[in-house]
Amino acid sequence: MLQPTPADTFELSITRLIAVPRAKLYRCWTDPALIVKWFTPPPFTTVSAEMDVRPGGASLIVMRAPDVTDYPNRGQYLDVILDRRLVFTDAYTGDWQPSAKPFMTGILTFDDEGEGTRYTAVVRHWTAADRDAHVAMGFETGWGIATDQLAALAATL
């Protein structure tokens, strides 16, 4: 018999109140020309992005390390609600093709709050080991820096 696992066992998250309308934050997450400007914390860069933002649509975001190693990140959108919510996973690489090693599902929400947006990014991992690996990779610092970059770019739109 399967035993339920508390969701937070494999979950990491970040939430911020950002002083821009949710549509601008959503656009930064869904426009390939914008995501390459903010997505990775230095010294990494995002060198390209292909995004078919719709349920079932595929994405490919390529990050580059300082040693010029490219890290392609393929995924698929599971849920898309304009200006409100994006859910994506690396469990599929597009056209519902399973990936070799699923790692996470991301759930982004953009909620009106005061003059700005309550931005929440929840990352659910397949295993505790995957979650721990993400922590070791610097989830809190990396996603924090990326969120700062997201907010700064969205403020210029």
- pLDDT, mean of each 10-residue run, the chain (157 residues): 60 96 98 98 97 97 98 97 98 94 96 97 93 92 96 98
Pairing of strands 116-125, 11-18: antiparallel
What domains can you pick out in the chain, each with its CATH number? 14-155 (3.30.530.20)
Four-CA torsion 11, 17, 20, 25, nearest 10 degrees: 0
Q: How far apart are CA 52 and CA 125, in angstroms?
A: 23
Residue 45's pLDDT is 97
Among 82, 68, 62, 73, which residue's Cα sits nearest to residue 103?
73
Cα-based torsion angle of the residue sequence 144, 116, 7, 134 in order, rounded to the nearest 10 degrees = -10
**What pLDDT score was predicted for residue 5?**
55
